Amino acid sequence: MTKPNHTPRTALSVILEELAPISGLSVLDVGCGAGGLCAPLENAGAIWRGVDPFPTDQNDQIDTAPAQAMPYDDAQFDAAICVNALHHVPVSAMPGALGEIARVLRPGGRLVVIEPKASGPLSQVIAVIDDETDIRTAAQDAMDSTAALTQTKAYDYPRAERYADFQAFCDSLTAVDPARAAQIATQHEALNRAFLQHATREGAGFTLSQPMSLRVFTPAIVRHG
C-alpha cells in the first residue's frame, strides 16, 4: 500500500489526480446520488454518466439501477468511480457490484473507489445513530477478495467536512439517507453532545475529520472481440 497522505483532500481532487488526463474519458459514477460530481467532472472534460438505485428527476444523465445489475453494455466506459457508495450496497451484492463495474469497463480502464474508514471523529459522531463499522469493513473485504478486478494502487488520506452548525451536520446526514431523520430525532441530544465533543471549531463553523481509503483497480480479465 502506498504511504498514507496526511494532507486533507477532497474526493474530486483525488479523482482528477488518479484519472489524469481525464479530458475526453467516459466516466461512470456508481452510486452517484443526485450527481454532485457531474458538473465538476464535466468541467474537467470528462463525459459523465451516473447510476444510482434511487430514482431522481434532477439529472437525466443518471440511470436508476443497483450497482450489481447495471444497464450498460460490456466495455462501455473508460473509467468508473465509486465514492462513499460501496458500503451502501448490500453485503451479499458487493462482489456482484464489483464484477459489474469490471464488465462495463474497457480493457485497461480504471476504477477509483473511495470509502470512509471505520474510524475517525466523523465516524464516531455518526455511530450515535448509525454505526457503519461492519458494512465499511465488508466493503474493504469485498475489494480484497474480488477476482474481477486487479488493484493497482491503494492509500489512505484524511477528509475534512465543514458544517455551519449542528443543524447543518444533521441536514447532511439526512441528505445521504432520509431514513436517518427519525434516528436523529430520537437521539438528538446524544448526537449533539458527540458533535460538540469531536468537532473542531473553525471560525464561525465546525470541522469533523474522516480518514478515507482510496483504491484504484483495472479489470482483471482482458476481453476480446
Instruction: Say whether pLDDT at 96 is over 50.
Output: yes
Residues sharing a CB contact under 8 Å with residue 179, sequence separation 6 or more, in sequence order = none
Query: How confident is the model over 135-161, as pLDDT tens digits?
Result: 999 999 999 999 999 999 999 999 989
CATH architecture of 11-118+132-159+211-219: 3-Layer(aba) Sandwich (3.40)
Global pTM reads 0.86
pLDDT-derived band of residue 222, with 50, 70 and 90 as boundaries?
low
Most confident stretch, 53-57, 130-134, 191-195, 218-222 = 191-195
Query: What whole-number percentage of the chain has pLDDT above 70?
Result: 94
Q: Where are the domains of the chain?
A: 11-118+132-159+211-219
